[in-house]
Amino acid sequence: MDGECLLFSKLLRDADKLDIFNVLLDCYKRHRENPAEYKLEMDFPDLPEYSAEVVEAILNGQRFDYSKLRTLNDMKLLQLGWVYDVNFTATLKRIGKRKFLEKIVDFLPQTEDIEKVKEKIFEYVDSAIERGGMEVKK
């Protein structure tokens, strides 16, 4: 794709991410408040652990194969990594304004690994916003 088709595809992908963040956070909140009554529609066990491979991929700015996810925390970590696939600075600003990343981190265990991921993701977002421009340079 090129030209307008590519531009609109990127716009739609970013808009979809914003919508998905919003929906997922609402689901995580409802599940936390009443796990017996509000079941998540994901096939991942809600365990306190997470995979070192997911953490490593995020710290290296890499994508991770969804088929290798094991826990709900793996999925949440992967969702933090979605920022690497954002196309526009304005989208990153909106993610920051709505505090989507902070809210996802709040649903993760408080460990040294998670803190490293948080720092890496926030540094990436801040740097990409600072570079500015319409598209995030990858």
d(CA 62, CA 100): 20
**Number of independent structural domains in the chain:** 1
Q: What is the pLDDT of residue 92?
A: 97
Average pLDDT value for the chain? 91
Smallest Cα–Cα separation from 50: which of 121, 108, 122, 102? 108
Between 74 and 35, the more confident residue is 74
Is 76 within a domain?
A: yes
Range of the domain at 69: 3-131
Task: Evaluate whether residue 110 is within a structural domain.
Answer: yes
| For range 93-98, the mean pLDDT | 97
Q: Please state, in angstroms and rounded to a whole number, the distance separating the CA atoms of residues 8 and 49.
A: 38
**Residues 48-65, mean pLDDT to the nearest whole number:** 94
pLDDT band at 134 (very low <50, low <70, confident <90, very high): low
Per-residue pLDDT at 136: 63
